Amino acid sequence: MHLSTSRMALSFVVLGMALAFLIVAILVEASTMFMADPMTNLMPISWDQAFFKLIDFPDESELKNGQILFDMKMLEDDTVIAQSIGLVEASPRACFEVVRNYNHYSKTMPYTVEGRIIREFSIDRNRSWNEAVDFWTRVCVFGFKTGYLLRVAHLNDPEKNLYQSYWTLVGNPSADSYCIDANMRPCKNDLDMNIGSHLFEPYQGNPARTIHTYTLKIKGKSWAQRIGLRVGCGNSMREVTESIRNAVIKK
């Protein structure tokens, strides 16, 4: 009787471990399916998958006073989804040009210690060719350095004064022999997920003023990264809009 009970207990342990491995495999597959293939020019996600609404009704008085609105939500798998909205006293095109200047991120964007375009190409989506780049960057927040290779696509409509960019991670960046970090080592992603977007549009129809909406869906690999994202996401996203403001003033 005792032997039978032990065997049943062992069976439950084995079954539990098998289910745990299966769940981990499903989660890994779900995250990698959103990553771009370094050997192709395809974008695995659409704008609708990168852009979402957390702030449905931004406070106009706060925006006009220069405040940058922010909201964040934690998902059960430790993924952070966040959004910030701010007003910039410059045209949408001028704001977009700041974001488009990837090779100068270490000078213009907060926490960035390294950044460069690995390659530029076009993405064919719905018979419309869109500019895209594979962009390597490293940031340093709270003393932790995090590196990742992004595929960024641009969906601009100059006639409507509308400028958009959205991105996702490039899987296995070391497969691209041109992706070498500042220490001459092959690039690697220190995040499990980084999907996001920038939207620049005229504020209340005024082409000289821009409403900047920045969205992010991100997940760290380590517990330290995940804690850092919870604590620092709000400040870092606000500081991106502040950096755009400062850059257009200098121009």
Q: Residue 93 and residue 251: Cα distance in Å, rounded?
A: 13
The predicted model scores a pTM of 0.85
Q: Residue 133 and residue 179: Cα distance in Å, rounded?
A: 13
Is 232:239 a contact under the CB 8 Å cutoff?
no
Q: How far is CA 191 from CA 65, 103, 170, 198, 230, in A?
A: 35, 21, 11, 20, 14
Neighbouring C-alpha atoms within 13 Å toward the C-beta of 191 = 29
Give the pLDDT of residue 22: 40
- In SS3 terms, 128-139 reads as EEEEEEEEEEEE
Sequential DSSP letters for 193-217: EEEEEEEEEEETTEEEEEEEEEEEE
Task: List the CATH code of the domain at 33-250.
Answer: 3.30.530.20
Give the pLDDT of residue 231: 78
pLDDT tens digits, the chain, 251 residues: what are they? Answer: 454 555 555 554 444 444 444 433 344 444 578 999 999 999 999 999 999 999 999 999 999 999 999 999 999 888 999 999 999 999 999 999 999 999 999 999 999 999 999 999 998 665 566 899 999 999 987 677 899 999 999 999 999 999 999 999 999 999 988 999 989 999 999 999 999 999 999 999 999 999 999 999 999 888 777 777 777 888 999 999 999 999 998 76
Q: Residue 233 and residue 19: Cα distance in Å, rounded?
A: 33
Nearest one of 31, 222, 246 to 142, comparing CA atoms: 222
